[in-house]
Amino acid sequence: MPVMLGVRWEHPDQNTRCLTARSKNLLDYLEVNYPYPYDSKPETLNIPILAHTSSNPMCSVYGVDPAVAKMVRDGADEADSPWIGEHLTWLGTEPTGSLGYQINPLFTDDVRDVTINNIGKMREFYGRQIALELSPIYIDSPTYESEMHFLGDVAESADALIILDVTHWQIANLNLGRPADYGLDALAPERIVELHVAGMRLGSDDCWHDAHHLIPSEQIFDFVDRLTDELPALKAVTLEHQADAPETDFIRCLQRLSGIIGRNEGAHIDNAVR
């Protein structure tokens, strides 16, 4: 099965550029972040959808908001998404329920057990697989060797899929002074079904951060090239690029990624992963 190429969708301001990319045969799907803004209706764009959310604190002892979970499930059901992307996070900064800039959990055995329990309950509620993603990391893990080892352990124990955010991974390695390929061997290759790519920036705090208004670095593109060849279960590569960033950069990145993953014709969402 060809690897699909998609973009993260969060707001209708992205609609025009997404339709342009689709018309140029550069876009197989939208990764819609549920719940989306009221009355936005990305389904009307007639582009296949992968379901994702940044509103569920999967590592929280308090669990998730049932109302939010239902909106995510309803969106995934309507889209017939093969999995739902979820973040391994403890809390967020937004009063609305969205996790915003996310607060990472302590990577400990106790938190692992809570997280595995939450994943099991959410998978049963959703009726489909869950794919787990890490946020950017700024401090060392207190118990596990690293956050990547925590992710690998949770995914194995919970029988979950993995979204490897290549940019978050590189941000963590830069912030903690680790080699660029550190931690990859902690993840089971057959569980990684999706890659995320985006730009990043060095902040005034001397830490690296996500930067969706920038294009990915050459190193990120190189890792996508390598991982596309190495990962046996990879099905999707998702570009995260915000709506007010230059559309020329957006199209250029999709063209670059399309060439890297060897995508000559549009691929299609395969629901057999369930």
42 touches 32 (CB < 8 A)? yes
The dihedrals phi and psi of 211, each to the nearest 5 degrees, come to: -150, 85
Beta bridge partners of residue 29, listed in sequence order: 6
Which domains are delineated in the chain?
Answer: 4-273 (3.20.20.150)
Neighbours of 8 (CB within 10 A): 22
Beta bridge partners of residue 9, listed in sequence order: 32
Neighbours of 203 (CB within 10 A): 10
Quick: pLDDT tens for 187-241: 999 999 999 999 999 999 999 999 999 999 999 999 999 999 999 999 999 999 9
What three-state secondary structure class fits 163? strand
34 touches 78 (CB < 8 A)? no
DSSP-assigned states of every residue in 51-90:
EEES---TT-TT---HHHHHHHHHHHHHHT-SEEEEE--S
C-alpha of 110 from chain center:
24
Beta bridge partners of residue 132, listed in sequence order: 86, 162
41 burial via Cβ count (<10 Å: 0-12, 13-18, 19+):
exposed
- Please tell me the distance from the alpha carbon of residue 128 to that of residue 119, in angstroms, as a whole number: 11
The pLDDT assigned to 269 comes to: 52
90 touches 60 (CB < 8 A)? yes
Residue showing tokens 């197989």: 28
Sign of CA dihedral 258, 259, 260, 265: positive
| Assigned token pair, 53 | 């959310």
Cβ-based neighbours of 180, under 8 Å, separated by 6 or more? 170, 173, 219, 223
Write the single-letter amino acid at 200: M
**Bond prior to 35 in cis (omega within 30° of 0):** yes
| Assigned token pair, 136 | 């950017």
The dihedrals phi and psi of 112, each to the nearest 5 degrees, come to: -55, -45
10-residue averages of pLDDT along the chain (274 residues)? 91 95 97 87 95 91 89 96 94 48 83 96 97 93 94 98 98 97 98 97 94 95 97 97 95 96 61 44
The pLDDT assigned to 272 comes to: 42
132 touches 154 (CB < 8 A)? yes
The pLDDT assigned to 90 comes to: 83
